[in-house]
Structure 1
Amino acid sequence: MIQSLSSPTFTIVVSKGQSRAPDKRSLEATVAEAAATRAGVDVLVVPHLYDLAPKGETIQRLRAIEGDIILLTWIFPRAAHWVFDRAGIRGQFGEVSLKEVLDEDEEEEPTDPEAMDENPLTETVLEDHPRPDRRIFTLDLRLATDPQTYLDEIDRICGLEATPSTASAVKQAEPGGLFQIEEPTNRRWYPVIDFSRCTNCMECIDFCLFGVYGVDDVETILVEQPDSCRKGCPACSRVCPANAIIFPQHKAPGIAGSAAVDGGGLKIDLSLLFGAPDKDEDPIATAARERDEQLLLAGRNAVGIDDQLAKRQADIQAGPADELDQLLDELDALDL
């Protein structure tokens, strides 16, 4: 057991990676030890976030944290935020300056409120069930190898100015504590729902035939049986109209929670980004094929693109077109 955390201004959580590579472990340790010297800061080092048991000591300790959190992890920040949320550690997205570099054409544009009102698919679960005001700042440990990069961002978030006088004051102030939880974990594979995008359309629960999804007392979608998910299968993420289903350990950035994924209402063809084996294959066909592979491995019959799936996807595609759809239609009309 470890001693109770104090009531710091910030709690820094360092989620260790699955890899035992010395350079990665060194980065984690260096950042954690240096961050613990900051005044008013507690540092908690935990096993890999995605692999934690829902009723384990680590999750219970994380749920007990009050106030803002700075999370350092080896998965995409969007994925980490919603892994936290699933575990009952909830809050608002904290703005960070250290983030994934996107191409200019991948940068998210501000959402048009009028367009959202016109498109029923853009009413999200998060709008109906807002999260607490406390902030969760997430830093991706894959973005830099220099520990100082993360320490500078931690100082910025905590409001410390990177000047000699401030550095001296921090050294003289009472430091926080460095705590570590050693909890055995096994590698897991399950979907994580981004409720800032999820519209509760139930496409995932209709598509998945392994009992992974369910609904809560107010009929909101949830991942009810995460360990029933077939390892390596991301099929449900491909059929989600809102790109709201994340598999943090998937090799394709779009499925793993990259920010370079459209957050708008309708599904767009992201075959390459989503890791489809054949770029000419429709994402829904890919999803159906992946589902069939897992059904056969489980000793069940393949179902392919059944009538219900085809009808649901047709209904979705028949919905209001967004700006991207309109742009693609205009380009097609030019016959370039």
Structure 2
Amino acid sequence: MADKKLTVVISQAQGKNPAKRELEETLAATLLMEPEIEVSLVPHLYDLSADHTGTLFLQALRGDLVILSWLYPRACHWILDRQGVRGKEGHVLLREEVDEDEEEEQKQNAPFENPERNKTIPDRHIYSIDLRVSSKPEDYVQEIKRIAGESQVQTVPLMDMLQSAPQPAQLEKYLKPLDIINADKNNGAETTEDVKLEPTKRRWYPVIDYGLCTNCMECIDFCLFGVYGVDQGGQILVEEQDSCKKGCPACSRVCPENAIIFPGHKTPGIAGADGEVAGLKIDLSKLFGAPDALEMAARERDAELVADGRDAVGMGVGLRKSSKVSKATDEELEDLMDNLDALDI
């Protein structure tokens, strides 16, 4: 019987930041020496299209899976879910500290239950680890070893898994992380096709956290660019990713459950941060007298409509009366100041 191994995938950072590339290379080299681990490397998860070979590679993997990426774990998990790489959320100890009470408060309402979708979630765990949590490779190696010790690791070698996938020869390159990294250092010079990754382009689209989404449909009412749709089970989904307007996070601001993520946004609450930070995408604007989240969202949408040669619609379209945000009370502002003090920023 084959040795039991845990599959670890390193998702490269966008761009070629030297410090990030060094951490990726060190982790790949270290993990390759661990007998209980099989390591691979793919481009940035958020930039993978549905037909990219990196996506096909991830879809071919079976068993428990560890993903190291430059993303918040929540964003990473639901990007993978959207790509058909599904599993239960694995418990990770190496993470930014989040108050458990705050994490529970974030779940204001029960998420929408779609029995058909739930049937497609396999009995395995996916562990998402943010590579921004620590600059020390040993921290990640230690956490991965801990996970390997408690997970139901796969007994089928990755190479055997790929043989049953479409285009197996094109997927095998992802099992050569150091060759890929070295080729990247040389800017592809004298690089053979077996280690040359399929290129990606930077993308911008919303990612739905189905652990929070209540299927209220506010996003599909608000977005006027055809991004959202509904599946056969009646559940909201991102139907046309590339119809989204680059840099616009407006639909995330109107989501009452904070279930819409834009992983590339600079604001943690919109990019997928958990806990207390997630709510600050709205409240900071109240504190400093700027437009509230819904007003800001309407302005962002209007800017994109005008850029498309269409008429601005303001707050009169796609915003339900129940969604209107009232002016902050003194008590709300006092609570916000307490939250900011607790964040130590």
Residues 70 and 154, structure 1, Cα contact 8 Å, conserved in 2: yes
The reply on whether 1:15 has 2:30 as its aligned counterpart is no
What displacement does 1:35 show?
1.0
Q: Any idea what SS the aligned residue of 1:63 has?
A: helix
The reply on whether 1:123 has 2:124 as its aligned counterpart is no
Cα 1:59–1:89, aligned 2, differ >3 Å: closer, same or farther? same
What displacement does 1:282 show?
1.5
Identity percentage over the alignment?
Answer: 47
Q: Any idea what SS the aligned residue of 2:314 has?
A: coil
Matching residue of 2:297: 287
Q: Any idea what SS the aligned residue of 2:221 has?
A: helix
What displacement does 1:125 show?
3.9
Matching residue of 1:96: 92
Residues 247 and 257, structure 1, Cα contact 8 Å, conserved in 2: yes
Cα 1:284–1:125, aligned 2, differ >3 Å: closer, same or farther? farther
Q: Any idea what SS the aligned residue of 1:237 has?
A: helix
What displacement does 1:259 show?
0.8
Q: Measure the CA separation in 2 of the matches of 1:93 and 1:14.
A: 17
Matching residue of 2:307: 297
Give the aligned residue type for 1:82: W
Partner residue of 1:179 out of 154, 176, 179: 176
Q: Measure the CA separation in 1 of the matches of 2:214 and 2:80.
A: 20
Give the aligned residue type for 1:70: V
Matching residue of 1:203: 218
Q: Measure the CA separation in 2 of the matches of 1:134 and 1:248.
A: 24
Alignment of 1:1-336 (within 5 A): 9-102=5-98, 108=102, 110=104, 121-125=109-113, 129-130=117-118, 131-159=121-149, 178-180=175-177, 182-261=197-276, 270-271=281-282, 279-306=289-316, 308-313=318-323
May I ask how many residue pairs the two structures share in their alignment? 290
What displacement does 1:262 show?
7.9
Segment of structure 1 superposing worse, 82-91 or 39-48: 39-48
What displacement does 1:143 show?
1.1
Residues 249 and 270, structure 2, Cα contact 8 Å, conserved in 1: yes
Give the aligned residue type for 2:216: C
Segment of structure 1 superposing worse, 200-209 or 176-185: 176-185
Q: Any idea what SS the aligned residue of 1:108 has?
A: helix
Q: Any idea what SS the aligned residue of 1:189 has?
A: coil
TM-score (norm 1): 0.77
Residues 269 and 282, structure 1, Cα contact 8 Å, conserved in 2: no
RMSD: 3.2
Q: Measure the CA separation in 2 of the matches of 1:126 and 1:236.
A: 22
Segment of structure 1 superposing worse, 290-299 or 79-88: 290-299
Deviations 1:290-314 (A, max 9, x none): 1111111111110000155143525
What displacement does 1:133 show?
2.2
Higher relative helix content? 2
What displacement does 1:132 show?
2.3
What displacement does 1:183 show?
1.7
Q: Measure the CA separation in 2 of the matches of 1:93 and 1:304.
A: 39
Give the aligned residue type for 2:213: C
Q: Measure the CA separation in 2 of the matches of 1:287 and 1:179.
A: 44
Cα 1:235–1:40, aligned 2, differ >3 Å: closer, same or farther? same
Deviations 1:3-53 (A, max 9, x none): xxx995311000000030222111101101211222232111000110011
Q: Any idea what SS the aligned residue of 1:70 has?
A: strand
Gap regions ≥5 residues in structure 2: 151-156, 160-174, 178-194, 336-345
Q: Any idea what SS the aligned residue of 1:139 has?
A: strand
Cα 1:64–1:176, aligned 2, differ >3 Å: closer, same or farther? closer
Residues 287 and 333, structure 2, Cα contact 8 Å, conserved in 1: no
